[in-house]
Amino acid sequence: MWTFPFISAFTSAELMSYATKEVLGAFLVVFSMLLLLSWHSGKKKNKTSQGSADSDQSKISMMVLTACKFCHLFYGRHLNPPTAEYSVTAQSASNIYVVETCLPGNRQNNPSLQEEPEVIIVGAGVLGAAMAALLARDGRKVVLIERDMTPPDRFAGELLQPGGLRLLKEMKLEDTVEGLDAQILYGFLINEVDTNILLDITFPEDEKKEVICGRTLHNGRFVNGLRKAALAEPNVKLIEGTASTILQEGNRVIGVEYKDKETGQLKEVYAGLTVVADGLFSNFRKTLGPSKYQTKSHYAGFVIRDCPAFRKDKAEYILANKNLLIVYQISTNETRVLVDIKGEMPKNLKEYMTEVICPQLPDRIRDAFLNSVQTERLRSTPVGYMKPSYVDKPGVLMLGDAYNVRNPVTGAGMSVALNDLKIWRSLLKNIPDLYSDGAMNKAKKKFHWLRKRNHSFVINVLAEMIYDVFSASEGSVLKLRKAYFDYFQVGNPGTGPVEMLSILSPDPKKLMGHFLGAALHAIRYAFKTEPWYLKPRALFKSSVLLFSGMSVIFPVMFSEMHTSVH
Q: What angle do CA 343, 346, 347 make, to 5 degrees?
A: 140
Dmax over CA atoms of the chain, in Å, equals: 90
Distance CA 540, CA 145 (A): 58
Reduced to 3 states, what is the DSSP secondary structure of residue 414? helix
| 203-210 own/partner pairs: CB under 8 Å, 24+ apart | 203/162, 203/498, 203/502, 203/504, 204/495, 204/498, 204/499, 204/502, 204/504
Specify the amino acid at residue 144: L
3-state SS record for 91-147: CCHHHCCCCCCCCCCCCCCCHHHHCCCCEEEECCCHHHHHHHHHHHHCCCCEEEEEC
- Among positive and negative, which fits the CA dihedral 68, 70, 72, 75? negative
pLDDT at 74 (0 to 100): 54
Specify the amino acid at residue 471: S
**Second-level CATH architecture of 116-178+219-292+386-448:** 3-Layer(bba) Sandwich (3.50)
**How many C-alpha atoms does 237 have within 13 Å on its Cβ side?**
13
β-strand pairing of 266-270 with 252-260 = antiparallel
Reduced to 3 states, what is the DSSP secondary structure of residue 390? coil
What one-character DSSP code corresponds to residue 293?
A: -
Specify the amino acid at residue 537: R
10-residue block means of pLDDT along the chain (566 residues)?
A: 38 43 48 50 43 47 52 49 39 32 34 69 97 98 97 93 97 96 96 91 93 97 98 97 95 96 96 96 85 91 90 94 94 96 94 95 93 95 90 94 94 96 97 96 94 93 93 82 84 84 92 85 81 80 81 83 57
pLDDT at 73 (0 to 100): 60
Domain with CATH 3.50.50.60 in the chain: 116-178+219-292+386-448
pLDDT at 473 (0 to 100): 80
Distance CA 370, CA 333 (A): 17
Hey, which residues does 243 pair with through a beta bridge? 258
pLDDT at 89 (0 to 100): 38
- 70 to 32, 63, 90, 423: CA distances (angstroms): 8, 10, 29, 21
Instruction: Evaluate whether 301 touches 175 at the Cβ level (below 8 Å).
Output: no
Picking from 514, 509, 555, the residue whose alpha carbon sits closest to that of residue 71 is 509
- Among positive and negative, which fits the CA dihedral 133, 134, 135, 138? positive
424: left (phi over 0), alpha (psi -120 to 50) or beta: alpha
Instruction: Evaluate if pTM is beyond 0.95.
Output: no
Picking from 543, 498, 490, the residue whose alpha carbon sits closest to that of residue 519 is 543
Distance CA 303, CA 376 (A): 7
Helix (H), strand (E) at residue 466 = helix 457-470
- 159 to 174, 451, 509: CA distances (angstroms): 15, 21, 26
pLDDT at 70 (0 to 100): 54
- DSSP string covering 538-563: HHHHHHHHHHHHHHHHHHHHHHHHHT
- DSSP string covering 415-446: HHHHHHHHHHHHHHTT-S-TT-HHHHHHHHHH
Picking from 190, 192, 187, 481, the residue whose alpha carbon sits closest to that of residue 362 is 192
- DSSP string covering 263-290: T--EEEEE-SEEEE---TT-SSHHHH--
Distance CA 256, CA 277 (A): 13
**How many C-alpha atoms does 40 have within 13 Å on its Cβ side?**
7
Beta-carbon contacts of 546 under 8 Å, excluding residues fewer than 6 positions away, are: 519, 522, 523
Picking from 413, 549, 565, the residue whose alpha carbon sits closest to that of residue 481 is 549
pLDDT at 69 (0 to 100): 55
Distance CA 565, CA 66 (A): 6
Helices (H), 326-451: 349-352, 363-375, 413-428, 437-451
